[in-house]
Structure 1
């Protein structure tokens, strides 16, 4: 559904919801591929995508990138989606418990479409005495920091929030100077990168 045309300088960040607003998004599909690729490069052979239902918008692009990389490289993979409920992480806990054989988790690489779900899964694996990253490597998506000096713990696909902010300011200033919006360049897709943390092997 398209929203009304903006009557004042406006833009959208991270997700497209209208054909009338300039939009700045990360390359979510490439990010999903990169997550699977980084796990593969570090020796993971059976991968798991972890998220929460329903999967849509940017999450679907991330999942599809992950799936396509796995299929193109003949990697075994599975999808684990928790139910959309208040204590959804209990589904992760049950999944881990049901996929442990003699204390060994049946996947050696985990990728999630958010840092939040990746972190939840990481702590539950530790609770079940699964070694991260020795036995299972984990990559999230975002690599956001609350403060500049905050250390990176979770390996993740990083969105360039600095570049996003810079382009956002440029586009808003352009709108202030002119009412005309370039309809042929409404969407700006920014590249993503991999950030090493302690949940993957170096």
Structure 2
């Protein structure tokens, strides 16, 4: 079977007896072409199967009405919500998006950003990989006036737009909640400390302990590579094998927190009575696991929307290389059964009352 020929504006011009320039202007809704002619040409283009070559147009104009996205892992619920927010804002403005994932590896982020740069994107939205500590690969965008927006995982040393949450306050509130539930030895599942989000969540945890008269014990602070499910399970096993195990865990993400619940239950450790647990992100799994996981909401879609709008604002204006604007969004503590000792105690009392 032969491959069907791609329809061009020259084919449309020949079919409709117009010049190629008239066809081009009509397809771009140019004011010099009457509405009747525009509609006729667009109808014919649709019938003949014409597709506009946006890449070629981008090469001519040195921009492509495309936003590049570089994230760690697409399969993380936070990242998929972030992308949804970006895509909706971009689509409403007539922009497309190109998505790349680094799998939390610096070398992948490096090659991904080069490919995006070569695609002549109009702007770049980045959530840094766990390994990234050198940010030189973003200079090529900034030097060419291509706006870069860092979201969630952001560099401290680079002038750019940044969209983040108040990770410190969130970490403080999560730890304070466990303290209010009666926890005295609270462990922390910490992410890589060169990443702003995990460093600030840990600071909030430490300050909450200090301000409530509890010691900061190094053996209870565990540093993870990726905060994976398997890391969470192994770390929970080690913590609960201590002579004096923790009675609470604040995890810097939900994945490791859920693995802590599952391990505890498998060992006959009651959650939250013996071990109260709170996570971070409000991933869908947090409300499915039993008991449901207390967590901190993360407004991912809103962060994506704001990031895209920053790009769109400056695709129509001069981009200032020296700009350093940070947007900080609030979070919300979501209390569920995995940390709610007061509710568990009340339920236990009711179950012990004799039936009348």
**Shared topology, TM-score over 0.5?**
yes
1:107 aligns with 2:249: no
Provide the aligned C-alpha RMSD in A: 2.7
Count of equivalent residues: 193
Per-residue deviation, 1:24: 0.7
1:94 aligns with 2:94: no
In structure 2, relative to structure 1, the CA distance for the partners of 1:56 and 1:10 (3 Å cut) is closer
1:128 aligns with 2:272: no
> Can you list the C-alpha shifts for 1:36-65, whole angstroms capped at 9, x where unaligned?
11112222222111236x433221211111
Give 1:81's match in structure 2, choosing from 210, 222, 232: 222
Structure with greater proportional strand content? 1
Per-residue deviation, 1:34: 1.0
1:14 aligns with 2:152: yes
Residue 47 of structure 1 contacts residue 75 of structure 1 at CA under 8 Å; is this kept in 2?
Answer: no
TM-score, normalisation: structure 1: 0.81
1:34 aligns with 2:178: no
1:24 aligns with 2:163: yes
- Give unmatched runs, 5+ long, in structure 2: 1-133, 344-356
Q: Distance in 1 between matches of 2:223 and 2:207?
A: 22
Per-residue deviation, 1:181: 3.8
Q: Distance in 2 between matches of 1:95 and 1:166?
A: 40
Runs of 4 or more consecutive aligned structure 1 residues displaced over 6 Å after TM superposition: none
Residue 160 of structure 2 contacts residue 321 of structure 2 at CA under 8 Å; is this kept in 1?
Answer: no
Structure with greater proportional helix content? 2
1:29-178 correspondence to structure 2 within 5 Å: 29-51=168-190, 54-57=192-195, 58-78=197-217, 79-81=220-222, 84=225, 88=231, 89-99=233-243, 106-145=245-284, 153-178=292-317
Q: Greater relative contact order: 1 or 2 (C-alpha under 8 angstroms, separation 6 or more)? A: 1
Per-residue deviation, 1:189: 1.7
Q: Distance in 2 between matches of 1:91 and 1:48?
A: 10
Aligned to 1:103: none
In structure 2, relative to structure 1, the CA distance for the partners of 1:177 and 1:99 (3 Å cut) is farther
**Bigger Rg over Cα:** 2
SS of the counterpart of 1:12? strand
> Can you list the C-alpha shifts for 1:76-110, whole angstroms capped at 9, x where unaligned?
4533326659953324313212346xxxxx32221
Q: Distance in 2 between matches of 1:151 and 1:189?
A: 29
Residue 83 of structure 1 contacts residue 91 of structure 1 at CA under 8 Å; is this kept in 2?
Answer: no
TM-score, normalisation: structure 2: 0.49
- Give unmatched runs, 5+ long, in structure 1: 101-105
